Chain A
Amino acid sequence: MIKLKTISGALLLFLMLSEISCDPFNTIIENQSNEDAVIYYQAENIKTPPANPDTLKVVTWNIKFGGGRIDFFFDCYGDRVLMTEDEVISNMNGIIEKINFLDPDIIYLQEADIQSKRSAFIDEVQMILDKTDLNYGVYGSQWQADYVPSDGIGRVNSGNAVLSKYKLTDAERIPLSLIDEDPAYVQYFYLRRNLLKAHINVNGKDIILYGTHTSAYSDDGTKLKQLKTIKEEIDKTDSEGKIFILGGDFNTIPPNSVVYENFDDAACDSTSDYYESGFAGQLDYMQPYFDDYSAAIPLDKYGTDLSTQERYFTFTSDKDGFWNRKLDYIFTNGTFSGNSGHVHQTADDDNVPTMLLSDHAPVSVRFSLNN
């Protein structure tokens, strides 16, 4: 009897210890496999997508978690941390209105919140699917924590999503490097960047979709590591003879950019965690992508003078200013139709002003299915 009790007591203690997670705030997404770390979505009502299309309209947009132009603490324009439900719904309705005008077949979203205190726990991916002609979605978290004990952020689940009118399959969340210079506790609670991968099949053609969002505040080479990982992945896909479309917020400006530091919207001083030191020394980071693949906004279109380049800028943190740098890109090893790449900076195209919806403007392009 004593032996039985000793064994059962030891077993009980072992089970207790093995059941207790070493990840008490549930932040380490990489504890799951790349496949299991993806959440699949479907619209409440499936809409019939166009049959046998010649082209697919592809959009990438960092929607800033439905925060619109509220003055958040991390922009150094204000002190807001949390939004009310009404604010999120109002901002998301603006984003949805813009998406409906753009009418994409595929959209890459960055900073989409699905369960965050800052956005009143609204699932923004589901909301977009339910209110647009998009039917399917996959989501890979880049920031997940049961509670972030900093700045009052609380629970957060925010990340990359790919949404499509066509069914998405075989999705994976491929992890990218963490910022080396961050101390362990910051790494534990901070963003975990990733490359989200999924497949669609249109007109019998299998296309691999990649969505990403690389690090913004890294001066230690982490962003370059992330860009290399992404490039290696698409190079592998290309070498296997498969077609891909890559879209996202690369937090990097194109080669030949005339303005690369001292941006006119900088509000954070150098003591802030959110201070951006500019892009000096990073001007060639995106060059390999332009060298090897087709871009929605090719370098010859982007030009070499400010008046040309500013037509393709996609970001500003100052809602009262104008877009002042290009961070968002779409690339393919297939073919984009003619001169179809466009940055939707204003309401000129669709009567929906962009500046108040997010700190990024959407980029669109038509992908040809006939080549």
Chain B
Amino acid sequence: MKLKLLIITIIISITSTQIIRAQNLKWSNNTADILEQGRKEAGIFAPLKTGWKNNTELSVHPLWFFIIPNASIKKQWKSNEKFRFSSKHTFTYPTMLYNMISTEGAGGILPETSTIPQLFKLNSTALLSIDKFNQTFTFTAGADLCLSIGDSDFPYIEWHFVYPRTYSLNNTITPHAGINATGVLYGNFIYEYRFETFFLTNADAGVITENQLKISWLKSDKFAIKAGMIYSYGKFPFDNDGGLYPTFDLMFGF
């Protein structure tokens, strides 16, 4: 009943939105659009992003950088009236973090006896955005690739939305694809709905899907609040299962 009501509410909300193109907004989103050159934004949890030259956006997660070095580049290759096309490439080195969480007692996500190799992970994703019905629809496809060097003996982290994002550390590659819809809900309220599928590569593995709904209140170009939920469902090592989690962030632009 609640789900039905939710779907109806979303449809009503979307079909009654004002005619404002999402890509005109200053804030970044999960489309093929790029932050305008010189603009920076950061969140409590979201990475620090900056619009760079030649339709390029750079980002790094400063809080996490010293335990999980990371950097990301997003480049817009084509933009015209019909569509925009970009690619995003994120490099992470999770070895230090994995060594930290392989510990006894509280915080021991992995057993203390785990052997963590040198892990170099690259996520590459292609993004194609089109504007239709006053919304922006973005189709994504990509893969996590992980190069592992040295002895390796550590289990999966089979926790809902963490599992597909760390799967490649145990299994080299995780292809994924998704669709994203975003638009203005009302005034400065922006919605973003994202459906993503991770294709787990082992013979006995399956597919993990994620439905994410987020509403942002863009108070100004300098401050925004994002809140929503993510529902992860699919075939985990134990069985088919699902989990619903809140998402929240405070965003600052400058």
Residues of A within 8 A of B (CB): 1-2, 4-6, 8-9, 11-13, 15-16, 18-21, 24, 26, 73, 79-82, 115, 117, 121, 146-147, 149-155, 185, 273
Flag if B186 contacts A5 (CB, 8 Å). Answer: yes
Q: A16-B215, A21-B244, A150-B108 are in contact. List 4 more A-B contacts (CB 8 A).
A: A13-B227, A152-B108, A152-B109, A152-B112
Contact of B12 with A by CB under 8 A: yes
In the bound complex, residues from chain A placing their C-beta under 8 Å from that of B110 are 152
A155 to B10, CA, bound (A): 34
Residue from A4, A115, A152, A155 whose CB has the most chain B CB atoms within 10 Å? A152
Flag if B12 contacts A4 (CB, 8 Å). Answer: yes
Flag if B189 contacts A9 (CB, 8 Å). Answer: yes
A12 to B186, CA, bound (A): 13
Flag if B155 contacts A6 (CB, 8 Å). Answer: no
Q: Which residue of A lies closest to B246 (CB)?
A: A20
Known A146-B160, A155-B238; judge A79-B113 contact (CB<8 A).
yes
A117 to B239, CA, bound (A): 12
Residues of B within 8 A of A (CB): 2, 5-6, 9-10, 12-13, 16, 102, 104-114, 155, 157-160, 185-186, 189, 213, 215, 227-229, 237-239, 241, 243-246
* Cβ of B98 to closest chain A Cβ, rounded Å: 11
A82 to B227, CA, bound (A): 37
Q: Which of A21, A82, A155 is close to B111, meaning CB atoms less than 8 Å apart?
A: A82
Flag if B107 contacts A5 (CB, 8 Å). Answer: no
A19 to B111, CA, bound (A): 33
Flag if A117 contacts B155 (CB, 8 Å). Answer: yes
Flag if A8 contacts B105 (CB, 8 Å). Answer: no
* Cβ of A83 to closest chain B Cβ, rounded Å: 11
Flag if B6 contacts A149 (CB, 8 Å). Answer: no
A263 to B121, CA, bound (A): 50
In the bound complex, residues from chain B placing their C-beta under 8 Å from that of A117 are 155, 158, 237-238
| CB-defined A-B contacts under 8 Å, sample of 25 | A4-B12, A5-B13, A6-B186, A12-B10, A15-B9, A19-B229, A19-B244, A20-B244, A20-B246, A79-B111, A79-B112, A80-B113, A81-B112, A115-B238, A146-B159, A146-B243, A147-B159, A150-B105, A151-B104, A152-B102, A152-B108, A152-B111, A154-B158, A155-B238, A185-B106
A80 to B104, CA, bound (A): 11
In the bound complex, residues from chain B placing their C-beta under 8 Å from that of A152 are 102, 108-112, 114, 155
A15 to B1, CA, bound (A): 11
A6 to B104, CA, bound (A): 50
A11 to B243, CA, bound (A): 22
Flag if A149 contacts B244 (CB, 8 Å). Answer: no
Flag if A81 contacts B106 (CB, 8 Å). Answer: no
* Cβ of A308 to closest chain B Cβ, rounded Å: 41
A82 to B16, CA, bound (A): 53
A153 to B157, CA, bound (A): 10
A152 to B154, CA, bound (A): 10
In the bound complex, residues from chain B placing their C-beta under 8 Å from that of A12 are 6, 9-10, 13, 215
Q: Which residue of A lies closest to B110 (CB)?
A: A152
Known A4-B16, A5-B16; judge A151-B9 contact (CB<8 A).
no
Flag if B237 contacts A16 (CB, 8 Å). Answer: no
Flag if A16 contacts B228 (CB, 8 Å). Answer: yes
* Cβ of A274 to closest chain B Cβ, rounded Å: 12
In the bound complex, residues from chain B placing their C-beta under 8 Å from that of A8 are 9, 12-13, 16
* Cβ of B249 to closest chain A Cβ, rounded Å: 15
Flag if B111 contacts A150 (CB, 8 Å). Answer: no
* Cβ of A31 to closest chain B Cβ, rounded Å: 14
In the bound complex, residues from chain B placing their C-beta under 8 Å from that of A82 are 111, 155
A8 to B160, CA, bound (A): 30
Q: Which residue of B lies closest to A145 (CB)?
A: B159
In the bound complex, residues from chain A placing their C-beta under 8 Å from that of B238 are 115, 117, 121, 155
Flag if B104 contacts A73 (CB, 8 Å). Answer: yes
A149 to B241, CA, bound (A): 19
In the bound complex, residues from chain B placing their C-beta under 8 Å from that of A5 are 13, 16, 185-186
Q: Which residue of A lies closest to B160 (CB)?
A: A146
Q: Which of B158, B185, B245 is close to A155, meaning CB atoms less than 8 Å apart?
A: B158
In the bound complex, residues from chain A placing their C-beta under 8 Å from that of B157 are 147, 154
A5 to B157, CA, bound (A): 41
In the bound complex, residues from chain A placing their C-beta under 8 Å from that of B16 are 1, 4-5, 8
Residue from A1, A6, A16, A26 whose CB has the most chain B CB atoms within 10 Å? A16
* Cβ of B214 to closest chain A Cβ, rounded Å: 9
Flag if B9 contacts A150 (CB, 8 Å). Answer: no
In the bound complex, residues from chain A placing their C-beta under 8 Å from that of B241 are 146
* Cβ of B60 to closest chain A Cβ, rounded Å: 26
